[in-house]
Amino acid sequence: MTDWQQRLRDAAQQRTAQVAQRTVRTVQRRDGARVWVDGRELIDFAGNDYLGLASDPRLARALRDAAAHGVGASASHLVSGHHAAHAALEQALARWLDAPRALLLGSGYAGNLAVLQGLLGRADHCIQDRLNHASLIDGARLAACTLHRYPHADAAAAERQLAHGSGAGLRLLASDGVFSMDGDVAPLAALAAACARHDALFYVDEAHALGVLGSTGAGSVAAAGLSTSQVPLRLCTFGKALGCYGAALVGDGALIEHLQQSARPYIYTTALPPALAEVAHAAVLLAQNADAERARLQALIAHLRSGAAQLGMALMPSSTPIQPLLIGDNARTVAIADALRAHGFWVGAIRPPTVPPGQARLRITLSAAHSTADIDALLDALLALAGGTDHAH
């Protein structure tokens, strides 16, 4: 056995021992909150399709129409791949978030790398919530800056780290707006005030908030009553509530210009297919006008939480469509998720390193495409499989 084969075998054995092995399941078809996997129909409580747009016929039609003009961009934005569809989408996003400019990226992952690599270097400091998305951590590594991680949602601790990092170099504080595995909202007003006191740049990742929070779905920053002057840069992703794929940075004009000129994950990659930009543009317009879906989502969230409380199931504190049930142990979490799937419900079994050790959980996500009957059925199954008040032990 060669060295690399030995390495792979050791890693696989360790994954098995820790019940950390993950499985890819193939979706044959999706229709709203229904998915067909291995020939069986499941109600999807695992995805991020918060407004039910991923299989919306209006977007499917937009994609068909856009495809009539071809598929690929043919080059990166700065060479010859920037199309009218990209420019129109950037303008629509900037208008939606009430910011001067937007810049398209291939994905949210690339967007977070672009911001931190494009703005920070060795002498600089990046201050981050401990539970930020992995792409923000990876961006700080790529920037080779000093990374400080403060206890989750602790604005006072964040401020101490901002003060500590003062003197040499830039300071950038990055936070998820809505935390992807917990569902809670960052203390954005307190963080913005701390950044203002310490002359730091505040960057918010809106991946799970865009389309969901704020009066037109403009995200967590808008919902907190903040604007580009307090939060000069935001990440929008199209793969969650917008039901598409791709991402954009939205914010201050000088920041966007600098990133366009210097961010490697923007420069050295082919532009998003223009057809996909047209679809994302259609999704932006639908999401902006989805007040009824947002109201429905809030009603479904309230229904799940009150139902769970009546059954003695303590969901983690969250007011967003991400409603995790903490289990703790990996094997037990996977066993419950497997049993739920056998009963027709798809719920994510989230384990370390995605969450801290000992905090494996069922990540239940809601969509405007769910019905209250879907939620009642899930609650019945959860009660039978995970039990009531003692589920966490």
Closer Cβ to ligand PLP, 217 or 239, answer by number: 239
Closest approach, Cβ 170 to ligand PLP, in A, equals: 22
Closest to 89 (Cα-Cα) out of 238, 362, 314, 277: 277
* Binding-site string for ligand PLP from residue 306 to residue 345, where x marks contact by CB under 6 A and - marks none: ----------------------------------------
Q: Decide: residue 332, CB within 10 A, 0-12 exposed, 13-18 middle, 19+ buried.
A: middle
> Residue 202, interface with ligand PLP (CB under 6 A)?
no
Closest approach, Cβ 184 to ligand PLP, in A, equals: 13
Q: Decide: residue 67, CB within 10 A, 0-12 exposed, 13-18 middle, 19+ buried.
A: middle
* Binding-site string for ligand PLP from residue 73 to residue 112, where x marks contact by CB under 6 A and - marks none: ----------------------------------xxx--x
Closer Cβ to ligand PLP, 36 or 245, answer by number: 245
DSSP per-residue codes, 255-320: HHHHHHHH-HHHHTSPPPPHHHHHHHHHHHHHHHT-HHHHHHHHHHHHHHHHHHHHTT----S-SS
| Contact pick of 205, 278, 293, 374 for ligand PLP (by CB under 6 A) | 205
Closer Cβ to ligand PLP, 241 or 247, answer by number: 247
Neighbour count for residue 209 (Cβ, 10 Å): 30
| Contact pick of 146, 180, 228, 318 for ligand PLP (by CB under 6 A) | 180
DSSP per-residue codes, 49-77: -TTS-TT-HHHHHHHHHHHTT-S---S-I
* Binding-site string for ligand PLP from residue 135 to residue 174, where x marks contact by CB under 6 A and - marks none: x---------------------------------------
**Are residues 76 and 271 in contact, defined by beta-carbon separation less than 8 angstroms?**
yes
Residues within window 207-236 making contact with ligand PLP, judged by CB under 6 A = 207-208
Closer Cβ to ligand PLP, 274 or 307, answer by number: 274
